[in-house]
Chain A
Amino acid sequence: MSGSTVTVAPHGTNRITARAMTRLVSAVAADALGVRPSQVRVDLADAAGRLDLTVRTPIRLLPLDRDETDAPADSTTLDRTERAQRDIRGTVATLTGADIAGVTVRLTGARGRPPKRVD
C-alpha cells in the first residue's frame, strides 16, 4: 500500500498503513489538545524518507474562571500548543517507531466546554 511505513524485523517486515498512522496521530493529537480524534485532520508527507506530519485541529481552551494558583506557568494557548507539538512528536515516534522529520500543528478553532470524562 502506498504511503505505508515499513520496518524490517528478524523474520519478516512490519508495515503500518497510512490509515493506521493517520488514526494513531489523530488520537495522540486529540489527547494532547483535549479534543476528539474525529476533530483532528492529519496529513502525512515524505521528507527525504522521513515522516513529516501536519495536524489541523481545534484546541480546548482552559476555563477563564479557574483558580490562578493552580494554573501552570506555561498555560497560554501558544505554550500549550508547543507542548502538544512536542508530545505528538515524542509519542508518535514511540508508538510507531517511525523516523519523524517534523510536526506542524495548525489550530483551526477553539472549544470552550470541558471534555466529558468517564474516569
Chain B
Amino acid sequence: MTSITPDIGSHGTDLPAGTPRGTTVINDAVVAKVAGLALREVTGVHAVGGGAARALGAIREAISSTDHSQGVSVTVTGPLVAVELSIVAEYPLPLQQVADDARTAIINAIETLVGLEVTEVNVTINDVHLPDEADDTGEVPHP
C-alpha cells in the first residue's frame, strides 16, 4: 500500500501553498494488475506465472474470474516500485528480447497509468512454449 500526496497547493484557491487537500492511495494490487494487463500486448509472452499459478489461472479463466496480476509481484516503497515477473516465452523468439520487451511494457504502463517510478523489473523466463506441441502433452498435432 502506498500513498501519494498530490501537490495541488500551487493552484489551490484558499489554501496556503503546500497544504494537501486529501491523499490518493494506490493499492499494490492495482499496480500488479496494470502490469499484468500491459503484458498481454507484448509479443513473445505466451503465458504469465509459474506452473501452479497457470493451472489455477486456467480454472479461474473457465469461471470468468481471470486474475490479471497472475505471475506479477510488486513491492511498493513510497513512490518507487520493484516488480518480479514470471513468464513463459514463445519459441523461437530471442528470450532476452522478450524479457526486455516485457520490462519496457511494464515500466511504461506503471509510470504512465499509475504515476509511480519503477526502479527495477526482474524477469524470470520459467518455460518456453513450443508451437509444435499441443499444450504439455508432447504430442504433435496431426495436419
Contacts and interface: CB of A to CB of B under 8 A. Distances in A.
Chain B interface helix/strand/loop/mixed: mixed
Given A9-B103, A11-B107, A116-B143, A20 B128 contact: yes
Given A11-B120, A14-B96, A23 B143 contact: no
A118 B126 contact: no
Contact of A96 (B95, B120, B130, B133): B95
B123 A27 contact: no
Contact of B123 (A12, A95, A116, A117): A12
Main SS at interface, chain A: mixed
B143 A17 contact: no
Interface residues of B, number: 32
Interface in B121-135: 121-128, 130, 132-133
Nearest to A14: B99
A36 B140 contact: yes
Interface of B: 83, 88-89, 91-96, 99-100, 103, 107, 118-128, 130, 132-133, 138, 140-143
Interface of A: 1, 4, 7, 9, 11-17, 19-20, 23-24, 27-28, 36-38, 91, 94-97, 116-118
